Amino acid sequence: MQRYQLYIDGAFCDGSGQFPSIDPSTAQPWAMMPEAKEDDVNRAVAAAKRAFDTPDWAGMTATARGKLLMRLADLLAENAQKLAQIETRDTGKIIRETSAQIAYVADYYRYYAGLADKIEGAHLPIDKPDMEVWLRREPIGVVAAVVPWNSQLFLSAVKLGPALAAGCTVVLKASEEGPAPLLEFARIFDQAGFPKGVLNVITGFGATCGAPLTSHPDVAHVAFTGGPDTARHIVRGSAENLASVSLELGGKSPFIVFEDADLDSAANAQVAGIFAATGQSCVAGSRLVVQNSIKEAFLERLKAKAEAIVIGQPDNMATEVGPLCSARQRNHATDLIARSCDAGARVITGGTAPSGNGFYFKPTIIDCSDAPDAPCLTEEFFGPVLSVVGFDTEEDAVRIANDTAFGLASGVFTRDLTRAHRMIRRIQAGIVWVNTYRAVSPIAPFGGHGLSGHGREGGLQAALDYTTVKTVWLRVSDDPIPDPFVMR
Q: Strand, helix or coil at 137?
A: strand
Give the model's pLDDT for residue 1: 85
d(CA 463, CA 408): 20
Give which of 168, 171, 156 is closest to 209, Cα–Cα.
171
Contact 32, 3 (CB under 8 A): yes
Q: How many CB atoms lie within 10 A of CB 24?
A: 31
Alpha-carbon separation of residue 6 from 170, 172, 174, 189, 366 (angstroms): 14, 10, 10, 13, 43
Distance (Å, whole) CA 167 – CA 465: 12
Strand 131-139 relative to strand 467-475, pairing: antiparallel
Q: What is the residue-level pLDDT of the chain in tens, covering all 488 positions? A: 899 999 999 999 999 999 999 999 999 999 999 999 999 999 999 999 999 999 999 999 999 999 999 999 999 999 999 999 999 999 999 999 999 999 999 999 999 999 999 999 999 999 999 999 999 999 999 999 999 999 899 999 999 999 999 999 999 999 999 999 999 999 999 999 999 999 999 999 999 999 999 999 999 999 999 999 999 999 999 998 999 999 999 999 999 999 999 999 999 999 999 999 999 999 999 999 999 999 999 999 999 999 999 999 999 999 999 999 999 999 999 999 999 999 999 999 999 999 889 999 999 999 999 999 999 999 998 999 999 999 999 999 999 999 999 999 999 999 999 999 999 999 999 999 999 999 999 999 999 999 999 999 999 999 999 999 999 999 999 999 989 898 76
Sign of the torsion angle spanned by Cα atoms 38, 40, 44, 47: positive
Which residues are catalytic, by number?
248
> Do residues 221 and 245 make contact, with C-beta atoms less than 8 angstroms apart?
yes
Domains plus CATH for the chain? 2-248+458-473 (3.40.605.10), 254-434 (3.40.309.10)
Give the torsion sign (CA, 146, 96, 82, 85).
positive
Burial (0-12, 13-18, 19+ Cβ within 10 Å), 183: buried
Residue-level pLDDT at 391: 98
Residue 487, pLDDT score: 74
Is the C-alpha dihedral spanning 275, 277, 278, 281 positive or negative? negative
Find residue 124's DSSP bridge partners. Answer: 133
Task: Give CA–CA dist 237/239, Å, rounded.
Answer: 5
What pLDDT is recorded for position 488?
A: 66
Q: Where are the beta strands (DSSP E) in 175-263?
A: 199-203, 219-225, 244-248, 254-257
- pTM (2 decimals)? 0.95
CA distances from 212 to 209, 244, 279, 293, 419 (A): 6, 16, 31, 54, 49
